[in-house]
Structure 1
Amino acid sequence: MTPARILVAEDHPMNLMFIEKLLAKQGYEVHTVTDGTEVLPALQRERFDLVLMDIAMPVMDGIEATRSVRQAGNMITDKNVPIIAMTAHAMKGDREQFLAAGMDDYIGKPINSDNLCNMLLKHLQRARRAAECASASSPA
């Protein structure tokens, strides 16, 4: 089985390096962007199994980027790609705001490797099951 392809949107160089190394060590294929404005073009060029999306990025934050991904007519093949918010400032009501924007879940920073691993497994398994169901129900 090919490794899952993960797009990481993170503007802080140290966080990006940490997450990239952590994911690569776990066997994932990692691609990175440093701003929300780069997410949409990346998802239009390539297919990813999951997106890790920083919330506080310059120019376009993670919430706005997620809304753009989920929007109809944007030339992204998989508008249902799981998007996991990453934030250092999780406050009451944030989870609801992230879900309302179209995100599937969130993880707090600093990133705990065990929590991230469990989160990825949960959402990647769900995404693979959905893809299998979609291909089984499509006409041959």
Structure 2
Amino acid sequence: MNESTAKNATALRILLVEDNPTNQKVALLLLKKLGYEADVVNNGLEALTTLRQHFYNIVLMDIQMPEMDGLTATRQIRTEFLPPQSPWIIAMTANAMKGDREACLEAGMNDYIAKPVRKELLIQALELATARCHDLHA
């Protein structure tokens, strides 16, 4: 990561939506190693509540969660938060079967990463998200 990427990383507000404590720890550690920080909530309902209270550039969204799943939460976010307040949503899911990526994109997600998350793919997704977020807010 170069100096300008590091500056972008600290300027971004990331929300991790993940119900599994182990997956939360792994994701937060990986993000930290890449120079990012994130807030964490446990499901889609908590994500909506948090997004109503704080602006986030990027949401890393699990799909299968209690209370409200990631697809439902994403559809609600897309209805409630219009650009430029709408976050860039990246699916981070173990759902890696044929059609899962398409379902995530159809729900309104911007990108998709299968679990277990590979560092290189997360870097690519965050760089794309950063570029798009800066374009939207420029």
TM-score computed with the length of structure 2 as normaliser = 0.87
- Paired-residue identity, %: 44
Per the alignment, in what secondary structure is the counterpart of residue 71 of structure 1?
Answer: helix
1:51-130, aligned counterparts within 5 Å?
51-72=59-80, 78-79=85-86, 81-130=87-136
Per the alignment, in what secondary structure is the counterpart of residue 39 of structure 1?
Answer: helix
Unaligned runs of 5+ in 1: 133-140
Candidates 1, 24, 31, aligned match of 2:32:
24
Count of residue pairs the alignment pairs up: 130
Q: Which amino acid aligns with 1:101?
A: A
CA shift in 2, pair 1:75/1:39, >3 Å: farther
RMSD: 1.8
Larger Rg, first or second structure (1 or 2)? 1
The runs of at least 4 aligned residues of structure 1 exceeding 4 Å deviation read 74-77
CA shift in 2, pair 1:75/1:114, >3 Å: closer
More helix by percentage: 2
Unaligned runs of 5+ in 2: 1-6
